[in-house]
Amino acid sequence: MLPAPQGRHRKTGHHVDLDAAPTQGLSRRDLMKIGSLTVAGAAVGFGPGLLGPTSASAATAKFPGHKPGKIYLGVSVDGPLSTTLSRTGPVGLHRTYYKWADGTRETSNIKADHSAGRLPWISFKPPFTTAGGWAAVASGKYDADIRARARRYAGYAKPVVVTFNHEPHNDKTGTPADWARAWTRIHDVMKNETGLKNVISVPIIGDWVFNPVNKKDDPKNYLTQAVLSRCHFLGVDLYQNQSGDDFSVRLGRTLSWLNSQGHSDKMVGVGETGATDDYRSPTGAQWWQRSWSWAASNVNRVAAISYFNSQHNNNSGNTWLLWESASKLSAFKSSLSSSTATRL
C-alpha cells in the first residue's frame, strides 16, 4: 500500500491556516526514489555516519547561532509554554506563529526565548492571505514594513529563525512563483536594510511536497534557485504517518533532492513534527527514537527540530502531545538531555 500523506491537521497532510546527483535524464519521481534508498544506511543514503559528520572544532557555522555538531531541539505549544516545560524541562528552541502586524507579541516572545537560552523560530503570514497576497508583497508595496521588521530583529541580542508563510502549498494566496518571489523580496529587503543581522532566513515546505506519491506538487515550483541560494537552511514539516517512515527516509529524500539541485551543503530543519501511538507500530516513542537517532548521526545536515506539542488545528485525529504516553515523553526528554541537543 502506498503511504498516505499525513500532517497534523488533515489526513491529506494539509494545514488549514496558519554527492550531488545528476538530474539529466531523471524525472522528479526518479529523484524522489533516490531518497527512498536512505533507510538503514543504504549506499546513497543518509544513514548513521554516511554523511561523514565533521567535528565541531573543524566545522564552519552555517547560520547565526549555529553550533556545528549540535541540533537545536524544542517545541511549539498551544497555551502556556510553561505547561510543556514543566514536563520536559528546558528546551533549546521555541516555535511560534504570527500575523503580519503582530510585532508586539512576536517581540515579547522572542525576548523571553533569548533570556531563557532558547532559539526562537517564528513564522508570519502576509498582510492578507487571500489571492494576490504574495504578489502584493513581491511588488514592493510592503517594503517599509519589511525594513521595520529587519530593524527590529537587528536590535535583539541574539538570532531568530525567520519564516515567511510556512507551508505555502496549503494556502490560496497566489501561485508557487508568487510565493517564491515574495519570500525572496522579504529576504532581500531585510538584507539591504540590516545585512540580515540576527536573521536566520528559512522557508518551510511540507514533507508531502517531496513525496513521490504526490503528483500535484513539485518542490522546484516553490524552492526556486533564488530561494535555495538565499536561505540559511531549508525547513520541512513532517509528522509520523501510516507508512512508519521516519526521518531517515523522509528527510533523506529531501536531502537527496537538495543535492540534485546543486545544494549538497544545505542543511535542513524540522519546523513541525509529531509522533503518535495511534498507528500502533511503530509506537510514537519508537518513531521518535529512530528519527532522533538518525538526526544525531547526521548533524552536518540537520540544524534544528521543533516538536508540535499541541492539539491546535489538529483535524487529523491523531494525538501528538508528548504526554500521550510516558514512553514518548521519556524518549523526547532523553533527546533533550543528549550531547547533541543544544541551547543558545
Q: Which of 275, 203, 260, 211 is nearest to 236 (CA)?
A: 203
Three cell numbers written together for 160: 531568530
Q: Which helix (H) or strand (E) holds 286?
A: helix 284-296
pLDDT tens by residue, 92-138 = 999 999 999 999 999 999 999 999 999 999 999 999 999 999 999 99
More confident: 297 or 317: 297
Q: Which of 97, 11, 16, 84 is nearest to 321 (CA)?
A: 84
Question: Residue 342: pLDDT band by 50, 70, 90 thresholds?
Answer: very high
Provide the CB-side half-sphere exposure for 213 (13 A, CA): 13
Reply yes or no on whether the pLDDT at 56 is more than 60: no
Question: Residue 292: pLDDT band by 50, 70, 90 thresholds?
Answer: very high
Burial of 178-195, coded b for 16+ CB within 10 Å and e otherwise, reads bbbbbbbbbbbbbeebbe
Report the distance separating Cα 229 and Cα 159, nearest Å.
20
Say if residues 255 and 269 touch (Cβ distance below 8 Å). Answer: no
Report the distance separating Cα 289 and Cα 61, nearest Å.
26
Mean pLDDT of 163-175: 97
* CATH number of the domain located at residue range(s) 28-40+58-342 in this protein: 3.20.20.80
Q: What is the pLDDT of residue 315?
A: 67
pLDDT tens by residue, 142-151 = 999 999 999 9
- Among 12-21, 172-181, 195-204, 291-300, which is the least confidently predicted range? 12-21
Total-model pTM: 0.86
Q: What is the pLDDT of residue 37?
A: 37
Say if residues 275 and 240 touch (Cβ distance below 8 Å). Answer: yes
pLDDT tens by residue, 192-225 = 999 999 999 999 999 999 999 999 999 999 999 9
Q: What is the pLDDT of residue 229?
A: 98
Structural domain boundaries in the chain: 28-40+58-342
